[in-house]
Amino acid sequence: MHGIRNVEHNIVPAEANISMEKVRSFNASLCFVDGMPQLSRFQVLRVLALEYCPGMNNQHRLKQIGRLVHLRYLGLVGAGVLELPEETLEDLRFLQTLDLRETDIERWPGTISRLVQLMCLCVRWTRTVPEGMMGSRSRLEDLRLHLVSSNSLKLAAELIRMKRLRVLVLGFQEMDVELEKALVESLGKLPEIQRLEIIYYCKPSTRAVTWEESRWVSPRHLRQLVLGGLLFSRLPSWINRSSLPKLSHLHLGVEVLEDGDLETLARFRKLRSLVLMAAASDEQHHITTVVGSSDDAFNVLNFFSTNMAVRFETGLGGPPMPNLEHVELRVRVAQCADSWLSSLANLPSLDKVTVLLDCQGASAVETVEAEETLRRVTGIHPNRLNPEVTKHNGNDEST
């Protein structure tokens, strides 16, 4: 089922008239729940996905889900559910995936401890960490709590027991030394982790003192590593191809990018996406250079995002980042200059340029000139690019 339906005219989908007793999978997107079959009619349902369906934040309907005792997958993405009744999870003993993305959970029912088969839990925001989900009994392989607003210390300490985790995404609204120490200790003891995303939503970015003092070493199986809102003093020594041979996505912030750091990153043979941020500096005209080489440097990279002025130079081995398709520049007005922006022409595969233009402290004339420079240098690219420019921190914030 798909598409918002007009409940006032009592439009009921034809699917509701067929026999539901043997249906094993039911998916609905952008549908009013009043036009759906009654959940009590499903007797052997294994998969229930109700995405962006108005009316799901209803205690009666949520309790009905608890009667679907054969469920393996429950998805309520964007359903606007703030609280799950005890009855919703009470008898779902076979549930393996609970997907509540784009949903805010203020309180978890105690019955969540009965989900002994749960392998995947995804939530956008939660006020508390769900009790009963941690510890040595946990089967979780995929845990995504995009924003935890309280009880974070307990979560960080208990992660060390979740040995099966392959995917871990955590966002923290607040961070202190005690919490960070517990977090770093636990993260170093997850042997199966392949995707690790830790985001600090604290402003300004937090210096990664604890990470550096602990000499944290990343697990070798990592394929995706995102450390957002963190600022390392320099590129960590464990960021290298021998320590992370399978790395395909990296998001990292450093205070200073030293000579040789880009060469280190270029050696990752499987790196497809790179987000590299540096600390804001008063040195407006500093330019970092990437030179093409003959040793397959950045050979598979197709997305690059940075807040630095980067000059791309063709070397003896050919163009730099030869397969780069999308560049995202997060730059200040004062950084915009032909001296480095014109080098975008040396990226032969480039077909998209996105610019987040920081107008803070710049006059209206300077902002216009910066945008004109961006459009001129991308317009002369062999692929005739038209940059997507979004301005912020100015009087006229627009795209």
CB 290 within 8 A of CB 311: yes
pLDDT at residue 137, rounded to an integer? 54
pLDDT of residue 21: 79
Q: Which residues contact 226 (CB under 8 A, 6 or more apart)?
A: 196, 197, 198, 199, 249, 250, 251, 275
Alpha carbon distance 175, 183 (integer Å): 10
What per-residue confidence (pLDDT) applies to 198? 95
CATH class of 1-133: alpha beta
| Closest by CA position to 333, among listed 363, 295, 298, 302 | 363
Distances (CA, A) of 265 to 219, 259, 280, 346, 393: 17, 12, 21, 19, 31
The domain limits of the chain are 1-133, 280-399
Given this model, what pLDDT does residue 10 score?
Answer: 35
Residue whose tokens read 């956008």: 124
Residues of the chain with pLDDT under 50: 4-16, 136, 282
Interval 250-300: pLDDT, tens: 999 999 888 889 999 999 999 999 999 988 654 555 778 887 776 778 999
